[in-house]
Structures are given as C-alpha cells and as structure tokens.
Chain A
Amino acid sequence: MDLSAINPVLLIASLMVAATPILIAAIGELVVEKSGVLNLGVEGMMIVGAIAGFATAVETGSPLLGFFAAAFAGAALSVLFGFLTQVAQANQVASGLALTLFGLGLSALMGQSYVGVKPPQMSDIHIPVLSDLPVIGPILFGHDIILYFGLALTAAVWALLKFSRAGLVLRAVGENHDAAHALGYKVVRIRLMAILFGGACAGIGGAYISLIRVPQWTEGMTAGVGWIALALVVFASWKPWRALLGAYLFGGVTVVQLNLQAAGVAIPVEYLAMSPYVITIVVLVILSADKSSAPAALGRNFHASR
C-alpha cells in the first residue's frame, strides 16, 4: 500500500471531471422537479444522449457537434415523457421508469457498431500563464469546455430561479398548479418546456461520460449515474449550489476509491466500488428528514377541469 502515490492536484482535477455528468443531469432534473414534475427517466435520457453524442462525434469528427446531438436526443426522448404525462395524463413514476428501460434498450441497439471505436478527443482549454500555474492551473484552468459549461449552467439556473420572473412562475407552477392556472399561467406548456430542458441536460451529461470521462462506448455505461443525479436533487433540497456540492462529493468518493484501489489498499475492491452508492444513500437518509423545501405539487398530474 502506497498512499503517497496519490497526487492531490490530479485527484481534485479528476474529481471535477467525475462530477460533471452528475451535475449537469441533476441541474436539468432540478428544473423539471421545480415545475412539479418527477421524471425518473434521467438514466434513460442520459444513455441515449451518450450514444447519440458518441455516434455523432465519431461520424463528424467534432465532439462539440456530438454534445449538440446528445442534447437533442435527450430532449427528443423527454418529449415522449412529456406527451405521456402532460397530455395523456399518465402516471409520472411509471412513465419515467418506462423511459429509462426504453432508453437503455434503444441505446444498446444504436451502439452496436460503435463498441471498441475511439471517439475524437475534446481538447482541454489552455490559457497561457494561468493554466501553467502550479496546483491552481490544473485544477481551475485546465479542463474541457463542457465542465465550465456545467458550472455556468448551475449559476444560471440558480439566478434564474431566484431573481427572474420566469423562475418565479416556474416555482409557482410546481408549488400549486391549480392556483397558477387560476391566475392564467399555462401550466402544461411551462412543464413541457421544463421537461425538454431536463432532457437536454441529461443528454449532455450522458455524452460527457462517453466522450470525455471514459472516451469509449459500452452498453449500459452510465451505470446508475442518472439515478444518482435524481437522488442528488433531493439531497440538494432543490437548490442548485447544493447540487454542485453533492456532485463533487459523489465525484470525490468515486475518484478516491479508484485511487485507493490503485494504491492497493487492503480493502476488497467490491467494498470500494460500492462506496459512492452507499455514501449517497446515507447522505440521502440523513438529509431527506427535511422535506419542507420540496415543490408541493411534485409528481401530481394537472388537469384543467372546470
């Protein structure tokens, strides 16, 4: 066992990479849940985003185009969920689960010819001087552009929810859809837009795994990250900055356990591999005692009856 082999700077830098897909997907789902909709299909939308982004990047040679395709694919899948729950009034939990199963199957089919292919690399940004600083350089100024996009997205969603009228209306719809309807807001339309946004975010999060974090395609490669993102929204009490904190916590545990495995710590590998999930559960149990900040209409279907 040699713990000195673990480089703290690289550890933090890779922690941020590990956290980004969870963060982006969680921010998207946070917006969806703030509008009062519970979409359990995050995992499905992520993996479809992963393969759509991967395939597009391989075919066009542009990772950035891959991310656009991923966002589009995730949003397209969420349209299905939106139609089922908002128009056909189907149960949200069942529709979300179906979406995940559908997404896993669809992605396996789409990805058959891409197993073992290497995607084009997305280059990290390089700012002269800043990126070359010791310690701070690799941590703050040496990542790919999508990672910064994730941070910017967090800040933007936070500001939008807190300060803008659109954010207020979104929260109002999630809080009491009958009242919002009585005041003349278009509940179904607002929710559909939130669902689309959540789908696009999940797609980007999935593509981040297949294009940057792992750079390859294997079936079922999201491995429960979508579920972690869902749990993270609750963990974060529907607050964007807390979602960032939670994503880094989970990313941190994932990276640390990988490093510990590499350093040959005398703990069975299985325990280390399960640790991120166990810690997520423990934190969730502790934090979910306080449900007061949950949107009051979460998971309830709206029908404009007389």
Chain B
Amino acid sequence: MTQPLLSLQGLTKAYPGVVANDAVSFDIGAGEVHALLGENGAGKSTLVKMIYGLVKPDSGRMVLRGQAYAPSEPRQARADGIAMVFQHFSLFDALNVSENIALGMENPPPMRDLAERIRAVSETYGLPLDPFRTVGDLSAGERQRVEIIRCLLQDPKLLIMDEPTSVLTPQEVDILFQTLQKLRAEGTSILYISHKLEEIRTLCDHATILRLGRNVGECIPAETSARDMAEMMVGTALQTPARADRDLGPVALEISDLSVPAPSAFGTALKAVNLSVRKGEILGIGGVAGNGQDELLSVLSGETPTAAAAVQMHGEAIGHLGPVARRHLGLLAAPEERLGHAAAPDMSLTENAMLTAAARKGLVQKGFLKWGLATEFAEKVIASFDVRTPGPQNAARSLSGGNLQKFVIGREVLQQPDVLVVNQPTWGVDAAAAAAIRQSLLDLAAAGAAIVCISQDLDELMEIADRFAALNEGRLTAPRPTAGLSVDEIGLMMGGAHGMEVAHV
C-alpha cells in the first residue's frame, strides 16, 4: 500500500471526567474495509464524530490523501468525500425518501431529477427503494438503504458505517455485505464499526481495537479468532454464562389469541399472539426492532390492559390488571428504554427502587414510605450487580447506560419474581456486564422463575433461551427449541428479507 487514504495521528479528545480518545492513531488505506472494534464507551463514536467534523479533537491531527484535514463541520467532511451512515437518529419519519436524501446533500438537484438519480443508484447497487415513500412507513432495512443511498449519491471516498447490522435480519445483512463488497471493488474505503466479531471476520481487511479510548491493538480479522478479538476488546479473559440443566414446571404465564390495535401511528398492532412459558424456562423472543416488541412488553407488564382471559398467570385471568396489581402477583417487567420508561431520569436510585419494589419488598406500610428499607434495597442492587455509582442517592440520569441497565435489571431480579419479562436486557452494556446480566437471568430461571426475554441480539437469545419465537409485524411465530436452530431458520422466522430478495445483483 502506498499512501493511506486517511491517517489519524495521536487524536485525543477529553470530556469532563473522562478521556474519550487518548492518542489514537491508525491508517485507512484506499479500497480497504477497516473495522473499528471496541465495547460501548471505548470511544468509537467520538472518534468517528471527529472524522466527520461533529466533534473537534483536543490534539492530534488527521491527514487525508497527504493533505492536512481538520473539518470544522460535517458539510466540510462531505465536501472532502467522507460520508457517514448513522446507527440511528438521522432520518426524518414524516418526510419522504427524496426529502431525506436532499437534506443530506450540499447542492441537491430539483426533486424530480433527484428521484431519478435515487432510482438509478438504487438499481446499480441492488438497493430497491421508492423515492416518494414516507420514511416512517419503511422497515429498518429500508431505512438503512435510504442512508446508504444518501451517502452514495455524493460519491464518497470513505464511507463510515456505525453498527449498521444491529437492526437487520441475517438475510438483510447478506445483502448489505454484497453492496459493501461492490463498493470496495470500486475503490471506496469503508470504516466499519461494530462489535459483532463474526461479521468483521467475513467482511473486513483490517481491524483496529479500542479500549477505554486507547488503541490497544490491530489485527487481520480473517486470521484472528473471534475469541481473541473479544479478549483484546475486554482486556481480560471472557466468561461465558454457565447454563445449568433445569426442570421445567407447570405453565406460569400464558397469552392466548391476543390482538391489540397499534397504540400510535408509528406503532405496531399485535395480531393473534399466543405464547406460554413454564416455570424454570426462558422464552426468547427475537425480531427486528419495531415489529411489536414494545407492545408485547406493555401487554405483559400491564401497561396495556386487555381482555381478562387473554393473559393468564398460574391459570388466573390477569389481562385486566394494571402493573401494580401484577407486581403483587409476582409478575415483573423491565422495559427497553432505560431513561424515562424503566427508570425516572431525575429521581435518585433509592426513589427508583421504591417505584417498582414497593409492592413486593414491603416498602410501603400503612400508606407510609419506608425510605430506610428502600435505600437498603437499592444498595443491595448496587452491590450484587456491580453498578458503578457513588451511591443510591445519585440520580438515575447520572449513570452511564450500561450501569443503569445493570441497576434496572438487578432491581427486578432481586425482587424474586415468579415471572419476569425483560426487553433488551443487555442493550448498550459491555461484554463483561452483559455476561453477568445473562448469568443472573439463568440463575433466576434455575430457581424456578419463568422468564420472557425479548431481545434483538440473537446470540444472546441462543445463549440463554430454551425456546425461541420471533415477532414479525405484530405476529409471533410458534416457538421452537433453541438447540439445533440454524441462523437461516431464525432469519426466516424473523420474516426473511422483508421483500428484499429482488435485491440480489
């Protein structure tokens, strides 16, 4: 390789209390797919934002094609041929595809010409897309195509992709990889951020690994085992959750033929959902985000009341009961959204513990709150789940995402529920903490609780669940034992490629 396309030299960026990037250096060659690996909080996003001009480095410099490069805003980065596909939050639901794409361009042509160009590019790269559809109605895979086409229209030299596959089915991932390989063949460099190691091993030419803001190593992914890369990321040997054999008891929770209309315009209706989970069993529910996960959780937790007989616990009809009544019966839930749904952001951890544990831990007596007991309980959660915080008096908002997630899950697990429903239990949590959370769920099931685990992380479901079902447009497939389930079968259960089969070039 002669001259690298982009060379990062000693980039450093500090935020109050934390150094996000500490003298990070590496090169990206022309026509190379370069992986950036690291756990959450390792500084990947900050690094990428510096390249894209959203954040200014404190020190260090970048060299693009031999020229000093210091973008002050994304506009300038785009002008220099750098494009970025965001992990989330860069599309506008109420606008159509062309409008969304026009917003990401410097000098967009008139709408009619733009629509033509969108059609042309989408056909060249096998990403079919109607320019006049409203983005809010698109599937996650199609939304991502909008972002990719937005980048491709500007003829980028370097394409940055931030965790592009976290919202895709396995079939959609295949199609994406074909597109990326085609781009690489045309000489476009790709900076690929992910923590899915197998993907990186199939796609990337070179990998840089970040840990706590430092560049801790580089490797050729195809020649390195996933386990070695994971250990480089974490810095210690990885512990895999141990799964004990469990005896399944009688059915603890059952939903029969439940249909619920969509709660909002962009929500999903549940259609004829059936599920049952036995004591000691973990039922894994997969599916691409936005296919009814949130709605299913709110039906189980009691936020959406239904016909009484549609939800039964230990044979008792509970569909009409609200969340508090269900908590008394021993049915607990931990929703996905940590700030604002699972925890009240501006309240302390003690107060947040009081909010869900009041019923089962006897924190309310004769109408009075027992703050002493609540503090003890919060401290217990903090200690047993290794929540890094100065103490239970801190506001939930002040915790990092992963730490708050540990608190939210621990709070429910330590109430010894009979049935626990969790949505995305390890979302945004680093590998070691994720393993600890999974272990706690396994232990809870071993103690006889029934667990419904909704997650988009298929590896996680395969690791802990006894049976697997998938949500697709509000319908739940029949559950199948996880043992011996192949990735292809899972993909088909999740709805295949959402009509993307035509996309093969």
Contacts and interface: CB of A to CB of B under 8 A. Distances in A.
B131 to A, nearest CB: 14
B54 A182 contact: yes
Interface string B36-71: 000000000010010001110000000000000000
A50 interface: no
Nearest to B74: A184
A178 B95 contact: no
B26 interface: no
A171 B96 CA distance: 12
Nearest to A295: B94
Interface stretch (B83-91, B188-196, B302-310): B83-91
Contacts of A172: 92, 95, 99, 103
B152 interface: no
Given A172-B103, A306-B55, A179 B91 contact: yes
Given A165-B108, A296-B94, A179 B89 contact: yes
B74 A171 contact: no
B52 to A, nearest CB: 9
Contacts of B91: 176, 179
A171 B99 CA distance: 10
A168 B103 contact: yes
A183 B104 CA distance: 6
B73 interface: yes
A184 to B, nearest CB: 4
A169 interface: yes
B74 A183 contact: yes
Contacts of B75: 184
Given A165-B102, A292-B265, A179 B55 contact: no
A175 interface: yes
A175 B95 contact: yes
Interface string A274-306: 000000000000000000110110000000001
Contact of B94 (A165, A175, A178, A185): A175
Contacts of B99: 168, 172
Contacts of A175: 92-95
A237 to B, nearest CB: 12
A179 B95 contact: no
B89 A296 contact: no
A201 B435 CA distance: 58
B441 to A, nearest CB: 32
Nearest to B103: A172
Instruction: Tell me which of B53, B89, B94, B95 has the highest count of chain A C-beta atoms within 10 A of its own C-beta.
Output: B94
A295 B54 CA distance: 25
B103 A176 contact: no
B103 A169 contact: yes
Contact of A182 (B78, B89, B94, B102): B89
B90 A179 contact: yes
B15 interface: yes
Interface string B401-417: 00000000000000000
Nearest to B20: A306
Contacts of B93: 175-176, 296
A183 B103 contact: yes
Nearest to B266: A292
A182 B265 contact: no
Contacts of A169: 103
B86 A182 contact: yes
Interface in B261-302: 265
Contact of B15 (A178, A292, A296, A306): A306
Contacts of B92: 171-172, 175-176, 179-180
B94 A184 contact: no
B117 to A, nearest CB: 16
Given A165-B102, A172-B99, A176-B93, 4 more contacts: A171-B94, A175-B95, A183-B103, A306-B20
19 contacts: A168-B95, A168-B103, A171-B92, A175-B92, A175-B93, A176-B93, A178-B89, A179-B89, A179-B92, A182-B54, A182-B86, A182-B89, A182-B90, A184-B53, A184-B54, A184-B74, A185-B103, A296-B94, A306-B55
Report, nearest first, the 9 A-B pairs whose CB atoms are least far apart: A184-B74, A175-B92, A179-B90, A292-B265, A178-B89, A184-B75, A182-B90, A184-B73, A176-B92
